[in-house]
Structure 1
């Protein structure tokens, strides 16, 4: 009994101790709570999101292209706004009252307790002038952030731009961590690599007084998290070549795309007309964007990725390769230059083999090459025979990366079109068309359409004798390489051994006597060039000019495609432009004596053939 009596007192003692401890904790929490309530009368706990430094962008020679610069945003927490003198604030901000009311309405619609931007991209002097008077406007404060600044006046179409996140973006799960006022990549590489460039946000909790002045960290930073800077992008773009190409096409409409065939890296990406990337950053960028958008020359239009043109005679190379693969022709198969089938470009020597036909761009020859590839007697019904043959032809052509998105690291890419039998069935009716109906495809005309990027990639594929890497802008992310998909080889449906049969003719186009692209020749420097000209029919005006090539033939280092709108014959406009670009890249300079060609590309009347 005595043992049990003693144990009872021990248990009671334990309960008493626990009760005292609990009561003490409650007292402590009450005191702490009262302390915070007292502090709240004088101070406010502010959750500050730490925006990390956005990754920088460099060219292939580690020349800095895009960096960050500090700017400031005026933020508002609607619930904390009291007795707002709208007229006084508008005078201070130099902002129309209707714009201020619209910003406040949008802020309330987003959240009454979370901060939203009222005015963005303030300069340091603007910020200083506003902060001096913020005591008059409870609920408003200035937030610093980093904006994009450009060390280059070129490459705007590829770089894209960064802008304030829109309500439409905020509704997407992908952007759940963003808040109004955050910046986000809107187009180009800034958009495609947004998750890489943005880094990881951090959070700080600060105590601030009614004047917005910081009074120190909350609980010594116990709940703070550090931000992590975004990763840098190292582009394959040659900034000097890019600037030179933009200079050449100044005042023109068109595109130039240059690739390294061995890697798929994009060396130059010119879209004309051009604009400077700095136009879409800083105060007033919204107005400048609208001016560009409404410009009838459409400088915002990304021509290398979004403009699709018939490839013209350049496409004859693909038709020859497909026919060789199907074994319906050989490199030495002769065809008559029969103008009754289709008109030829000019009088020339008899096309007794593929090389001569390519050199002279003989239309009747390639009419008969594609006819042999399509009409192979697979059905006694002439309509079905054409239908079966065209379907097989289309699949082989698309293996060259035509008529499909290549998968470049940019989101605006167009597919183009390599028409299928179903395409013609819908337009003309099932079994209502034959080869003669679609023969224009044999010379790269008609319904076919490809982009400038696809044409440059076609040249890279021929330079590699049958394979290509997906074209890409970014050769390195941080300290690593490109994305994995850009290291996968893609082979065409044509045997690699057959590509050698079209290259002699392509060399004759440039360096042969009477070749259609003599103005692209670099023979004087000992550099061999293989290429093909094209003149693209345009029902809305003067024909478009195109030329595609690679060099040196023995060890290709550059593949290039040039489209110049309303410029007539490809040999007199697109070809010399490509020649200058290749010379600049392979030799590092263009000789002064070649300035006459620079002036011709920039200022010449292409519809008057130069001799």
Structure 2
């Protein structure tokens, strides 16, 4: 019995040993993966960075492409520089910059290559290529740089730059390495995953001096990189550049939308900048200059700026009130009993005339009836119920929430509700007299230019919209567009209620609040002007509209800060952009000259210099002296600062 047990134990040990020997044979003879890992001294793993996808406009014109450049990597432990000063002269850097770059490389790793200098042009690389042989530890790698031939759309496109430490640490899947490029802001960030492609890996053999000796195993373990997808946008680059030219010397925004699809045709944020300056190795210096610019060109005003919509908001009031049943096209209101003043049009008007002349008292009465649902009783209960209905209806126009545009920086804006006023004034401590400024688009309302362009698209469509978006497709138009941009959004307003509003909008352009010169032939622009109050300077000029009146092709919103009356600056820009899009040319040369010569840039107010207080002198007078030193009196006098805009 014991003899049999001994053989069983010996058999088990022999079986285990056989398993280990078999596994060892497989790993050392048959499987090359561990051999690959253990041969780091002779086999190098090279990451193949894919070509980033290009960006096109709606007509196939190139907006963004890649220019081949070279990056220079350094491995600190291998570095051998006979003459540091000569090396710095060759690279065009100072010795301090050299020390800083080397310290960063050593901090990352002394044995791994890290980025030393990026984006050397073909000419710069050709100049230093032969000399690099004398400097061990430096190795070039081909790369690419984003190039923007149209020099426009900077805020919407975003930029590509080195990944930040925070982004590296927050990766859900480990894809990026230190020194990799990644899209920041705009479409470059929004569609990063599609534009970047998929990187590949090559294994190459090299000798101890790093000289290339061919592919490992004839590329058996290599994986090919997959180029990024090309992005087609709805932008019309010709009209975009023209709108840019009209907004020179102005602060504001122009947003145009194709009503039938929701595609964004024009997206101007003024003042803007040449996107190429953030696509070079001088990125940091240029970025700091943009940050310090007092006009804040890095703000993407179409989706990030918030304004009171002014009289343009009256269009929504008219539609909501008609749907509620408290307003009809033939409803007439006089100026009597309204705390808001009008612009001087003759007599009482109906709905058509109220839109045409932008009558403040008319829409005060409209909003009052809406809030009380035709009741004359001025109670909190009526105000709260009316405001709740109004809020819910206005929200369906995309106000007070994100529209879902394909940019990472869209802000919600503000649409006040019952809860808001209860919090500000106390529960049941407010009534209609507290909120009537909403009737003319003032008060607590805050709306972005994109949202007002979308309102124009809703009216053009007679009651619905598609969420505004830049994308038209990946690799070809219509392919890969997210489903959310194909879903029709209803406002709940009966289409018949849009007709009297549109008639009034057309009359506003032909014989209303829009300056005569902006009524262009063969354009049939329907619009509404607005003048948004601005406590820090001149009022903001606003215009929203669409054209033509039937089967509209373009909806537009223009905001020009500090430009005053909406029927002048904003309406002029909108008319010219609309004409260029519909006719592909500009016939209104006089209007074009008028608006391009206008300069509405507000003066930059700098902080007053701090007063220079002279140092206190030692008091050598007797303690019982009543004489005060003259310097002490001077130190108490400070210059007054100038008032802000």
> TM-score normalized by structure 2?
0.84
Could you tell me which residue of structure 2 aligns to residue 360 of structure 1?
Answer: 357
Alignment-derived partner of residue 570 in structure 1: 566
CA offset digits 1:474-505 (Å, max 9, x no partner): 11111315221111100113223322231111
SS of 2:567's equivalent in the other structure is: helix
Once the two structures are superposed, the pairs formed by residues 85-234 of structure 1 within 5 Å of their partners are 89-174=87-172, 176-234=174-232
Structure 2 residue 52 is the aligned partner of structure 1 residue 54: yes
Q: Equivalents in 1 of 2:410, 2:209: separation in Å?
A: 50
Q: Which moved more, 1:93-102 or 1:307-316?
A: 93-102
- 1:52-96: per-residue Cα shift (whole Å, max 9, x none)? 111111111111111111111111344555789765654443333
Q: Which deviates further from its counterpart, 259-268 or 500-509?
A: 500-509
Aligned-partner SS, 1:432: coil
Q: 1:271 aligns with which of 265, 269, 276?
A: 269
Secondary structure in 1 matching 2:594: helix
SS at match of 1:570: coil
Given the alignment of the two structures, is residue 555 of structure 1 paired with residue 551 of structure 2, yes or no?
yes
Does the alignment pair 1:600 with 2:594?
yes
SS class of match (1:502): helix
Structure-to-structure mapping, 1:328-477, within 5 angstroms:
328-338=326-336, 340-351=338-349, 353-376=350-373, 382-477=379-474
Alpha-carbon distance in 2 for matches of 1:26, 1:323: 81
Report what 1:588 is aligned to.
584
Contact residue 147 and residue 276 of structure 2 kept, 8 A = yes
CA shift for structure 1 position 187 = 1.4
What residue number does 1:11 align with? none
Quote the residue 2:540 is aligned against: 544
- Which residue of 2 is the match for residue 308 of structure 1? 306
- Pick closer, same or farther for the CA change 1:514–1:229 going to 2, 3 Å: closer
Q: Cα 1:287–1:606, aligned 2, differ >3 Å: closer, same or farther?
A: closer
SS where residue 206 of structure 1 aligns?
strand
CA-CA distance at 1:413 after TM superposition: 1.0
Corresponding position of 1:486: 485
User: Is the CA contact 2:64–2:147 (under 8 Å) kept in the aligned structure 1?
Assistant: yes
Flag the 1:36–1:278 CA change in 2: closer, same or farther, 3 A.
closer
Distance in 1 (CA, whole Å) between partners of 2:54 and 2:304 is 26
CA contact (8 A) 1:452 1:563 kept: yes
SS of 2:293's equivalent in the other structure is coil
Q: Structure 2 stretches of 5 or more lacking a match?
A: 1-14, 602-645
Provide the rounded CA distance (Å) in 1 between the counterparts of 2:51 and 2:37: 36
Separation in 1 of the partners of 2:37 and 2:404?
58
Encode CA deviations 1:28-64: one digit per residue, 9 max, x unaligned: 969x99x999998xx7422111011111111111111
Q: Deviations over 1:301-355 (max 9, x none)?
A: 211111110111010010111111111222222211226421112233311x211
Q: Determine the C-alpha separation between the residues in 1 that align with 2:47 and 2:312.
A: 54
CA shift in 2, pair 1:381/1:315, >3 Å: closer
Say if 1:82 and 1:506 are closer, same or farther in 2 by CA, change over 3 A: same
Aligned to 1:243: 241
Task: Give a deviation string over 1:104-127, Cα, whole Å, max 9, x none.
Answer: 444444445543212111122333
User: Which of 263-272 and 122-131 deviates more?
Assistant: 122-131
Q: 1:431 to 1:140 in 2, by over 3 A?
A: same
Q: C-alpha offsets along residues 226-258 of structure 1, whole Å, 9 cap, x if unaligned?
A: 000011011111111001100001111111111
Distance 1:127-1:347 versus aligned 2 partners, 3 A rule = same
Q: In 2, distance between residues paired with 1:563 and 1:397?
A: 21
Q: CA deviation at 1:554?
A: 1.0
Q: Distance in 2 between matches of 1:113 and 1:154?
A: 42
Distance 1:39 1:169, change over 3 A: closer
User: Aligned pairs, how many?
Assistant: 582
Q: Runs of 5+ in structure 1 lacking a partner?
A: 1-14
Q: Distance in 2 between the 1:27 and 1:244 partners?
A: 66
Contact 1:159–1:189, Cα closer than 8 Å, also in 2: yes
Kept in 2, the 8 Å contact 1:377–1:385? The answer is no
TM-score, normalization: structure 1? 0.88
State the Cα distance separating 1:223 from its structure 2 match: 1.1
Instruction: Tell me: CA distance 1:216–1:496, structure 2 relative to 1, closer, same or farther (3 Å).
Output: same
Q: Is the 8 A contact 1:306 1:451 kept in 2?
A: yes
Q: Partners of 1:62 and 1:204 in 2: how far apart? A: 34
Q: Deviations over 1:358-399 (max 9, x none)?
A: 111110110111111112389988223322321221111111
Show CA shifts across 1:205-244 (max 9, x none). Answer: 1123455432211121121100000110111111110011
Query: In structure 2, do the counterparts of structure 1 residues 221 and 438 end up closer, same or farther at CA, with 3 Å as the change threshold?
Result: same
Check 1:377–1:142 CA distance in 2 against 1; reply closer, same or farther (3 A cut).
same
Distance 1:378 1:113, change over 3 A: farther
Deviations 1:400-446 (A, max 9, x none): 01111111111111111111122222222222211111111100011
Contact 2:369/2:375 (<8 A) preserved: no
